Amino acid sequence: MTTVNDPELQAKVKKTTEKISENMHIIANEPSLAFYRIQEHVRKVIPLIVERRGEVYQLQQDLQGKCYDMEYAIGAVKEIEAADQSLKNVQEALKNAIFLKQQLKYVESRRPKKDSNSSVYKRLSAHITLDLPDLDISGVVRETTNRVEQAFMSSQARNSSSASGSGGSGAAPELQRSYTTLH
């Protein structure tokens, strides 16, 4: 083999081999660099995706609830439409009831009033009048209360004097005036 000692050629060969070596190194590490970039991207994006997924789930629950409400409202409207005939029947019955009440009122106004058809209590109470005078009994109540208290106090004093005179050690309990009476 012959060797060529051309410095320019050797520089070009060296430069070319370095480029080839560099390219081989890049090609060999490209998949790992790509995976690193993918991993970096996933770590940044996953928390946001999880948060959005939770929001979408909540919106889905709300939407489902609103759909149930709408279906219930549609069912109620359809039932109201189906009740149209029943409501018309009720309206007719009310008109008939009002008409019959007016007829009864008219017939009663035209009929002469008879006392024989009224009840025994009505006839009896029509003749009884009871005029009660306005009575002021507060003074009487106060006076009666005072008399009862005085009588009780005097009987208590007699009991306590007889108990102390006979050598008994029991004293009669002391009573207080009640404030619930009329004053």
Answer whether 173's CB lies under 8 Å from 156's CB.
no
Residue 141 belongs to a domain: no
Q: Which residue segment(s) compose the domain that 25 sits in?
A: 10-84
For residue 4, tell me if it sits in a domain: no
Tell me how far apart the alpha carbons of residues 124 and 118 are, in angstroms, rounded to a whole number.
10
Q: What is the pLDDT of residues 75-132, one digit of tens each?
A: 998 888 888 888 889 999 999 999 999 999 888 888 876 655 556 666 666 666 655 5
23: in domain? yes
CA distance 30 to 158: 123
Alpha carbon distance 41, 35 (integer Å):
10
Residue 173 forms part of a structural domain: no
Instruction: Supply the pLDDT for residue 176.
Output: 52
Asked if the structure places residue 53 within a domain, the reply is: yes
| Residue 33 belongs to some domain of the structure | yes
Average pLDDT over residues 163-173: 51
CA distances to 104, 145, 176, 177, 183 from 180, in Å: 55, 11, 12, 9, 8
Cα dihedral 166/171/172/177 (nearest 10): 140
Q: Which residue has the higher pLDDT, 6 or 172?
A: 6
Closest listed residue to residue 179, CA positions, set 138, 145, 140, 135: 145
**Lookup result for tokens 């208290």:** 149
- The total domain count for the chain is 1
pLDDT given at position 67: 95
Rounded Cα distance between 19 and 114, Å, is 133
Q: Would you say residue 168 has pLDDT above 60?
A: no
Share of the chain above pLDDT 70, in %: 69
What average pLDDT is seen over the chain?
78
